[in-house]
A and B are shown apart, each in its own frame.
Chain A
Amino acid sequence: RKEVEQDPGPFNVPEGATVAFNCTYSNSASQSFFWYRQDCRKEPKLLMSVYSSGNEDGRFTAQLNRASQYISLLIRDSKLSDSATYLCVVNPYSGGGADGLTFGKGTHLIIQP
């Protein structure tokens, strides 16, 4: 059925480095895509929506590849505060429907000093 796959990590990255990770989705009809950030024992917080043309917000860039059915998140000049779990979220339905938002299990990122 619907599926969103992420590499769970952890990815250990030195401070200042650039890191990127992908998320694949199985439903080619998926219409909207998001990246959320979740800190340990906290709620997910919206990081950015992913548009067809890509989206950039400061050090963060999200891209969508419909042909290969994946979205990516790139973090430049990583900070210690970027350490978190990054959740990929996909909505496969254009007409709405609550079970449209499918969450990946997350990629755990650790920025090391």
Chain B
Amino acid sequence: DGGITQSPKYLFRKEGQNVTLSCEQNLNHDAMYWYRQDPGQGLRLIYYSQIVNDFQKGDIAEGYSVSREKKESFPLTVTSAQKNPTAFYLCASSIKMGQYEQYFGPGTRLTVT
């Protein structure tokens, strides 16, 4: 079955530690995205990638980093510089950038204490 996987589902970290969230897709989609969702809030775009070896900052990129070395993979690192990292992180992909539907992975719920 084609789809997007994210791991782990729940992640707990101490403040000051960097943490990397995994996102893999086997849909052969060019574009991938990372969002964060806070309670009662809409999704906010962190980073996106149109194609392998290319990525751009979204609306709230500070304190995050990404890489796109393979088409299938778009990991997100939450660094210690992110002031409020506890959130629900969602990875998505679409066939290409533009007017296309985005499909989401199951998400990673990160708690930093």
Chain B contact residues, CB within 8 Å of chain A: 31, 33, 35, 40-43, 45, 48, 50, 56, 58-59, 88, 90, 96-99, 101-107, 109
Which secondary structure dominates where chain B touches chain A? loop
Residues of A within 8 Å of B105, CB to CB, are 43
Question: What are 26 A-B residue pairs whose CB atoms fall within 8 Å in the complex?
Answer: A4-B42, A8-B40, A31-B99, A34-B101, A42-B106, A43-B105, A44-B104, A45-B104, A46-B101, A46-B102, A49-B101, A87-B42, A87-B43, A93-B98, A94-B99, A95-B98, A96-B96, A98-B45, A98-B48, A99-B45, A99-B59, A100-B97, A103-B42, A103-B43, A104-B42, A106-B42
Shortest CB-to-CB span from A91 to chain B, Å, is 5
Size class of the A contact interface (CB-based, 8 Å):
20 to 34
A85-113 interface bits toward B, Cβ cutoff 8 Å, 1 = contact, 0 = none: 00100010111111111011110000000
Within A54-113, which residues are at the interface with B (CB < 8 Å)? 87, 91, 93-101, 103-106
| A32 on the B face (CB < 8 A) | yes
| A42-B106, A43-B104, A43-B106 known; A96+B48 contact, CB < 8 A | no
Complex-state Cα separation, A34 to B109, whole angstroms:
25
